[in-house]
Chains A and B, each alone.
Chain A
Amino acid sequence: MSGEPTTPLGTALLVLGCPQVPVQTSIALYLINRLKKSGVVPVVAGNKSANTLLVIADPDRHYLGEVMDLDRAVALISDKKRDFDRCFVFIHNDAGISYAATMGAISKAKLFILIYGEHYDDLVKQVDFPCTIIAAKAVHNPMPLKKAIDEVKPWAA
């Protein structure tokens, strides 16, 4: 990918949820692109299916960098062996809220949560921990969530 700053301006962890909702993979690649163009090094953590969807979509790794298992990422951060400057958690179910709260508790990263899916507003009401919420009703069409991300510009935060 061209146009990236040569000196990294921080790191970001993208915590993927269950890939059941189609917009996740698309928005993850979009966010990775924006982060890289801003000089932020993105790392993806998800379960096998979520990670594989990204790896297959980007076989030459134009966008993707490091990809790791979600349980391993949680263990590394909990054990203070690794941390990030920013953390983005993808949420469309109750488990996503649990992962976001966990990241808020174990990591020093600035926490952004991306809430989407059919019942995104119910999930937003469950958030009672410090973070920046980026939310939109997006299931198949990623545009509402992309617009919400663009308004916040988390790559510049």
Chain B
Amino acid sequence: MGCVESMNYEILMRDASFRECRDYIKQHFKEFIDVQPGFKIFDIHLIGVPPVAIGLDADFIVFPYTKPCHGTFLLRVEDTAEAARLRTLKK
């Protein structure tokens, strides 16, 4: 998974479609933001059909991560600074 491998992540969904990931985030997280594909989170440029949803739950960030051969993973990563940065984008 490239640089994602160095993160302490939890996989919430695997081999999912982009729609399943978007629906999961909007159904399970009260707090989320919609961004455009290519949006940079950590060192990753998000892949997806716009809008791409990112879920926020306290210091946890939930986002889709797509690879050509493995579909889309929905990852959950704890990062206080990145969660705070994303919240500022909601305003």
Which residues from chain A sit less than 8 Å from chain B, CB to CB?
A: 16-18, 20, 46-47, 49-50, 70-71, 74-75, 77-78, 93-99, 101-102, 105-106, 128-129
Contact = CB atoms under 8 A, between A and B. Distances in A.
Contacts of B71: 93-95
Contacts of B40: 78
A77 B36 CA distance: 14
Given A78-B45, A101-B50, A129-B49, A95 B72 contact: yes
Nearest to B64: A98
Interface string B23-64: 000000000000011101000011111100000000000000
Given A98-B49, A105-B37, 5 more contacts: A47-B68, A74-B45, A94-B71, A99-B66, A129-B49
B42 to A, nearest CB: 12
Chain B at the A interface: SS class: loop
Residue of A105, A128, A129 contacting most chain B CB atoms (<10 Å): A105
Contacts of A49: 69
Contacts, number: 70
A50 B68 contact: yes
B49 A101 contact: yes
Interface residues of B, number: 20
Contacts of A17: 68
A101 B68 contact: no
Contacts of B67: 47, 95
A7 B49 CA distance: 36
Contacts of A98: 18, 37, 47-49, 66, 72
B69 A18 contact: yes
A106 B37 contact: yes
Contacts of B37: 98, 101-102, 105-106
Interface in B57-91: 66-72
Contacts of A106: 36-38, 45
A84 B43 CA distance: 23
Nearest to A50: B68
